[in-house]
Amino acid sequence: MQIGVLGSGAMGAGIAQVAATAGHDVILFDKNPAAIERAKEKLLKILNRLVEKGRLTDPEAKAIFGRIYFVDNIYAYKDCGLIIEAIIEKLEIKKDVFEQISDVVSKDCILASNTSSLSITSIAGAVDHPERFIGIHFFNPAPLMKLVEIIPAMQTSKDTTKRAKDLIDSWGKLTVLVKDTPGFIVNRLARPFYGEAIRIYEEGFADFATIDWAMTEIGGFRMGPFTLMDFIGNDVNYAVTESVWTSFYHDPRYKPSFTQKRLSEAGWLGRKTGKGYFDYSENAEKQNPTKDKVLGAQILWRILVMLINEAADALYLKIATKEDLDLAMEKGVNYPKGLLRWADEKGIVHCVETLDRLFDEYREERYRCSPLLRNMAREGKKFYSNPA
């Protein structure tokens, strides 16, 4: 099957690399010729680096690069069996582009969006034969990250879902099937990792470095929330938070923070601008955490119980299976373990009591306990191993 990729930025080029490595001819389209040239140069550098590291032979790298066709004419898509879009996160722009593509490709061609937070069903509404439209959400960098979320729209046929999932599985990826809801699995479940961390800082409970230390050294996370937000970019992370919050009709659980909004407005976007929550300039003074294990455990548990509550609510609302929810967080954002398995380990009753204590203290809906957790605590159940 010939694969089309729309958009030659880091994500689009990464998806093209994955598909070409799997043996497909790939049509990588961008309407900006300069962007196409940049993508070509970056892909060559990446492949050459893989050769230097011994992960590819020189003939393999040349064959992969030779299977990618860089084009600025959308009509080059006419023989493609799958198009994956990876452009700006603007709903109307995506709709317009897919409306154009619908006129170019055959009615059997699967059309897919790599959006991280927009409605798949809404984009599908702009497509002829919307039953062939689906969400295929890769994580950045696409060649390295194993997880891919497969998101059928309301209009998507079962055949399209199966064909898309089987194809991405054949590329060596781990796919999870997700209901079309804001943020899907990863970007929904991960909101408290950022939001509750910022809330703890805003309350003066701990500084950025201490919160990050608690999550990495005590919790086992690869990056703390502030280091990760600086890595992602505060503009990008804030935009996803705002999108999820708006899509959930301003549910307080997803409320964005003024702290991150102000950083974005100041242009302190993180590593890419040299300053965010931390200063990355050459002579910057490094923030040292307060290595108090009691304080660190309190920070970890407050953030973790909010993450667990979000995962439990996603299961309660049948967003995905418990196995896919846990797999997504382990492989999509490298959590040390699945959140529902973590809940079993910490104790469901302990989770409920903590959430109720937070709700009693703040009287805010962000701390409301999932009905599933409450019912499980009452009945003495666990997610993975229930008593006989």
Domain 185-388 = CATH 1.10.10.60: no
Sheet containing strand 133-138, strands side by side: 68-71, 26-29, 3-6, 82-85, 110-113, 133-138, 147-152, 174-177
Centroid of chain to Cα 41: 26
Rounded distance between C-alpha atoms, residue 10 and residue 354, angstroms? 41
**290 near 214, Cβ under 8 Å?**
no
Q: Give DSSP secondary structure letters for 59-122.
A: HHHHHHHHTEEEES-GGGGGG-SEEEE---S-HHHHHHHHHHHHTTS-TTSEEEE--SSS-HHH
Q: Which residue bears the tokens 């497969």? A: 150
Catalytic residues: 116, 137, 149, 187
Torsion of CA 292, 310, 246, 183, to 10 degrees: 100
Residues, the chain: 388
Sorted by sequence, the CB contacts under 8 Å of residue 275 that are 6+ apart come out as: 268, 281
Give me 6's structure tokens: 């729309």
**207 near 293, Cβ under 8 Å?**
no
Q: Is the dihedral of CA 45, 235, 134, 253 positive or negative?
A: positive
Rounded distance between C-alpha atoms, residue 55 and residue 308, angstroms? 37
H or E element: which one contains 365? none
Query: What is the per-residue pLDDT for 387?
Result: 52
Rounded distance between C-alpha atoms, residue 343 and residue 339, angstroms? 6
Q: What is the DSSP letter of 279?
A: B
Enumerate the domain spans of the chain.
3-177, 185-388
**35 near 9, Cβ under 8 Å?**
yes
Q: What is the DSSP letter of 274?
A: T
Rounded distance between C-alpha atoms, residue 2 and residue 23, angstroms? 10
82-85 and 110-113 strand pairing? parallel
Q: Is 345 exposed, middle or buried (0-12, 13-18, 19+ CB in 10 A)?
A: exposed
Q: Is 22 exposed, middle or buried (0-12, 13-18, 19+ CB in 10 A)?
A: middle
Distances from the Cα of 7 to the Cα of 72, 86, 147, 252, angstroms: 10, 5, 20, 34
Q: How many CA atoms lie within 13 A of 363 on its CB side?
A: 0
3-177 topology per CATH: Rossmann fold (3.40.50)
10-residue stretch averages of pLDDT, the chain, 388 residues long: 96 97 97 94 96 96 97 95 94 94 94 93 94 96 95 98 98 97 94 97 97 98 96 90 91 94 95 95 92 98 98 97 97 94 97 98 96 97 78
Torsion of CA 325, 330, 336, 342, to 10 degrees: 10
Query: What is the per-residue pLDDT for 388?
Result: 44
